[in-house]
């Protein structure tokens, strides 16, 4: 998630806004695997970054 965010030139706060009202701290926690990415967030990330949704779930 962090790689996609950085490649798109977004801060954690900007991505949080894009995802619909999350906080920068929540995004940071997802990036560091301290918080799970739920399906709705994964779907938004997939659409935003134009990659398969599976990229945002643990393998």
Which helix (H) or strand (E) covers residue 43, if one does?
helix 39-49
Q: What's the confidence (pLDDT) of residue 57? A: 84
What percent of the chain shows pLDDT beyond 70? 97
What's this model's pTM, rounded to 2 decimal places?
0.90
Assess whether pLDDT exceeds 80 at residue 58.
no
As a whole number of Å, the CA-based R_g of the chain is 10
Of the pLDDT bands very low, low, confident and very high (cuts 50, 70, 90), residue 59 is very low
Q: Residues 23-34: what's their mean pLDDT?
A: 97
| Structural domains of the chain sorted by starting position, each given as residue range(s) with its CATH number in brackets | 2-56 (1.10.260.40)
1-14 pLDDT, tens digit per residue, is 999 999 999 999 99
């Amino acid at each position: 998630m962090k790689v996609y965010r950085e490649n798109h030139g977004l801060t954690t706060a900007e991505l949080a806004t894009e995802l619909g009202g999350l906080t920068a701290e929540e995004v940071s926690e997802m990036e560091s695997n301290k918080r799970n990415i739920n399906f709705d967030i994964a779907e938004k990330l997939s659409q935003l970054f134009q990659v398969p949704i599976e990229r945002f779930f643990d393998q």
